[in-house]
Amino acid sequence: MTLTTWYFEMRDRTDLAPAKAPAEDLAVVRAEIPSAEFSRFLYTAVGGRWNWTDRLAWSEEEWRGYLERPGVETWVGYVRGTPAGFAELDGSRAGEVELAYFGLLPAFIGRGLGGHLLSEGIARAWTLAERWPGLEAPQRVWGHTCTDDSPVALGNYERRGFRVYRTEEQ
């Protein structure tokens, strides 16, 4: 079976094409206190359906070490107080922010929330340096998705303004 991975990027914040607001309220809140347990919950709750495995073996210490790095942020979308999805940003490399992980919990898929949450996550990626004194303002926001992810993922990224710059097949 072939696994296709698409790498995408946005080079200017004006390229962001925000999705329309969803029919139900989605509060997007930064998890300001790094929490290995909460991040592991989000990772497994969202990624379990899509075979995310690279962090399953991480110890609590590894999670903390990653989450406590300057420029790493987790933004969580809540519907009526319940976590609906998240966007994890990694701005630890000079001049760029990686959309490291993004997705919705299964119960919230198909409710018109994904485009809006992604739009909010991208907007926060572009302003990440404003929250982290000493970090360089991003010149690029990037990420990747693959055929193991949601079949609508790549289209959502492209509708938000990302452009594919590399495709790999394994």
pLDDT digits 0-9 by tens, 97-145: 999 999 999 999 999 999 999 999 999 999 999 999 999 999 999 999 9
Domain that holds residue 26: 4-169
Which CATH number characterizes residue 19's domain?
3.40.630.30
Question: Is 43 strand, coil or helix?
Answer: helix
Residue 49: closest CA among 112, 92, 108: 108
Q: How many domains does the chain have?
A: 1
Q: What is the pLDDT of residue 1?
A: 84
Vertex 131 angle, CA 126 and 132, to 5°: 100
Residues in the chain, pLDDT under 70? none
Q: Residue 92 and residue 79: Cα distance in Å, rounded? A: 29
Diameter over CA atoms, the chain: 45
Q: What is the pLDDT of residue 52?
A: 94
Distances (CA, A) of 111 to 23, 40, 48, 104, 116: 8, 24, 19, 10, 11
Alpha-carbon Rg for the chain in angstroms: 15
Extract the tokens encoding 168: 């790999």
CA atoms within 13 A on the CB side of 161: 18
